Structure 1
Amino acid sequence: MNRTVNELQLGLLRQPATVLFGPGQRRQLPSLIAAHGDRALLCTDERMSADPVFTDIVASIQRRGVTVSVYSKVEPDLPRENLLDVANQFAGQRFDVVVGIGGGSVMDFAKVTAILLARGGDVRELYGENIVDGPGFPLITVPTTGGTGAEVTCIAVVFDADKGMKIGVASPHLEATTAVIDPELTLTCPPGLTMATGADALTHLVESFTSRAKNPSAEDIDAHLYVGKNLLTDHYCRSGLTLVNSSFARVVADPSDLRARSDTMFAAFNAGMAINTAGTAGAHAIQSPIGALTHTAHGLGVGALLPYVTRFNLPTRLEEFAEIGQILEVADASASLEAQAHAGIRRLEELLDTLGCPLNLKDLGLEPKDFDYVADQAMLATRLTANNPRELTHDAVVEILRRGHADDRSFWTV
């Protein structure tokens, strides 16, 4: 099995021009928005729009003389219909800035909305990598969950019901101008959402740290967003993994613990910074069709897959999983790399279990009769499978599903 390494010693980040992090920093929004002009579109979901915090944010922006329009119908997993609706509702209107306040679907919605309202068209015309060839309206992202990292990424994932699948819109022009990350906004996050987004963040960190190193040429870097595991993404992964190693237990024990919420949200930010150029991999490719079949949350799906995808990838990423064991403070430095890697993967499972995430696919409702269909669909996600450190084939995905359904976490041969 081929092991890829970063022979170029490449480091590459794509990121917002400004990132503002810390409890209470949402109070900077009025000045940040007013700096762009006096017409703002705020995008959110029904839960957040009913929150007094959102009402206060809108009022504070209006006091700066900014006319605020609100779209509050964003749904989970971002159906294409939401984007058709907002394009119809605000057709022909110009905004000085678009603001997304909510979870990952809201972030993705705001990214695409900023493009569509500025440039016109249907989101279907934007599916794929670098199809968006110019900027939209300026974008400010304000996450309310500690998990997706979508506030700093330049991809949006849309569910197209007609196609029966999630499809990415990926371009540097989707990158936010400013990300405002305020952990106070996660204090009212429901336990189920905390679990799902935490599992998503952990999966982002692991997949970025263990993804394929691609050693891209100058032409590759120009043409592609995801250039593989690199020095800078590794730095963010190490930071994020260190944070979640203690923050998950503290958030579960006391959801009102602001320091724990801050550490979890900072870890999710680190993960977002990493996946923006390293990309996600096998667990994300396989989850999408499982989610469509079982109607389970994205974070729960990638979390349930992680124990089995890590074992599949172990032969090509022994050193990285051993380092994960060291970062998570469970690996004996005097032990073999294999023993250290096993300890690291077991600790990842413990972290998922702490969150309450299911650790097998049967609990998600996946049935063996659907294994071949899931594998077929996963293989279509070439953007993701190309990042996986070990080659994914149809048969390999079926084996991952078989073990995941049987809760078989015995280690595969290295």
Structure 2
Amino acid sequence: MKDGIETQKTSPTLEAAIAYVTRLLKEELTDEYKFHSYAHTFEVADLCEKMGAYYHLPDEDFENLLISAWFHDTGYTCCYNGHETTGAEIAEKFLASRGFDPKRIEIVKDLIMSTKIDAKPANLLQEILRDADIQHVGRKNFFVKGQLLREEWQSILGHTFNDLEWELTQYKFLTTSQFLTKYTKEKFKSRKKKNIEKQEAILYKLYDAKSKLPDTGKTGRGTETMYRVSYRNHINLSAIADRKANMMMSINTLILSAIIAIAGSGFAMVGGQRVEYYRFGIPIAVLLLTSLGSVIFAILSAKPNVTHNLASAIRLKERKSSILYFGNFTQMPLQDYLTDMETLRRDNKLLYDNMSTDLYYLGLVLKKKFKLLQASYTVFMAGLILAVVMLILILIYSKYISESPIL
């Protein structure tokens, strides 16, 4: 027995590791570490031991798992960000000093690194440690633990949240954190569901309180009509631009095809006299190039333009993004999207800000479309005028040469 943990498969190295980590965390961690404290490490190690017994792990795997559980947060004694790497180094130094197997040291280090938020556990041991590290999402003390973490972030990192921002952060963590092992899925499923329901109730209460404040951003039918008409106008203008672009593509494609066919067959038939026809090649080349330029601009105008501006709760509030545009929300996890849509539904001002942002970006797309379309028409018109003028000059010059007396 060590600190309340029944070490069913204890060893001198494990006993020494528990004593070392216990002393390190209690002496080096300040009172600011309200969540990542010795108590958290104790809880993680305790659950790892229970799960190790449940899965009948071999002695060596069991020892590796428990050593990793005790060392996984020791990096907080040196730094906050990147503490997993530091914790792995602390464990390596301790185990090496005791002549621990180098291969097993690497396993312990990999186990500690698997607790990173973006890591993907590669085996059962890593899944057990990862589940033990987030076990509070399936326990009654989730909300108490959350408040401790909030205070820790504020004290150490300077991160401040209002109540709504924090509860949204908690809700996201609850709904995105998934248990990986059969043991934790069965043990914590019911409580996790209750925690999510309670978190949703807290959010609804905050939203309702916010809706009762002055200047809630509520609007009347006139504003709704304005947005409806604006969206319809943007859609109609976009359709007009696409029709004009398609028309330019059709016309210029026909001109290009005709020029290529006529020019090719014409030069083929004249044989030895084809030099006389080269004078007409200049206006043909001009018309060919300008038609090509015109159709390129038309294609660019009609080409689908999907912008990507990742939406988030913060960007929504700062009006830097709109969740209403598919190019933004399709990059979000489903649960984040549903949460933010719920936020919009309950906050009229934020909803209309999002609609205004969406209209703004639609306007930018329309501006680009019509600018390219204008360039297509300009190039096409200039090519026609230039080709006709050059053809007239060539005909006048040819007539003048043919009527001149032979000297």
Structure showing the higher helix proportion among its residues: 2
TM-score with structure 2 setting the length: 0.25
**RCO greater where, 1 or 2, for CA within 8 Å and sep 6 or more?**
1
Q: State which structure, 1 or 2, has the greater radius of gyration over its C-alpha atoms.
A: 2
